[in-house]
Amino acid sequence: MNKFIDLLKGKCECTQIGLLILRVLPGYFLIVNHGWKKIINPEKWNGLGEAVTKYLVVIDFLSPIFGFLAAFSESVCAVLVLVGLFTQPAAILVSITMFFAALNHITGTGNPELALIYLSVFAAISATGPGKYSLDSKFFSNNKN
């Protein structure tokens, strides 16, 4: 019974393994299926950035910068989340990107489901942190065990 209560309180080792899985699998899929092809194609950054600037007409000239930030968050930040380094800031950037991706799909064409799933996962990682099986835990932990 005590192990079940520890599980519910998040003190069980399986909670840490769950956080590891929550980081690694979505991080890997985001990099492989979305981020890599965006970061290596700078000519697509303007189109990616228009997903943000179409709502902010005043700053339309910033489309390439927002496009780069989207590509950066879906590739570099996804790698950081995957390995658990600077996890929470990186997950926040990915969450913001997925918010605008979902908004773009809702108001344009396509299905926002995948962007909303990624948003949910990376928002959860932003809130919970990377867990003990991460580089953040190794380098930035206050515990001196």
d(CA 93, CA 74): 9
Distance CA 56, CA 34 (A): 24
Residue of 88, 98, 87, 83 whose CA lies nearest to 28: 83
Model pTM score: 0.85
Q: Which two tokens stand for residue 96?
A: 């913001």
Helix axes 87-107, 63-72, angle to 10 degrees: 120
What pLDDT digit, counting tens, does each position of 35-80 carry?
A: 999 999 988 888 888 888 877 776 778 889 999 999 999 999 999 9
Residue given tokens 């989207």 in the structure block:
70
Rounded to the nearest angstrom, the gap between the alpha carbon of residue 112 and the centroid of all alpha carbons in its chain is 16
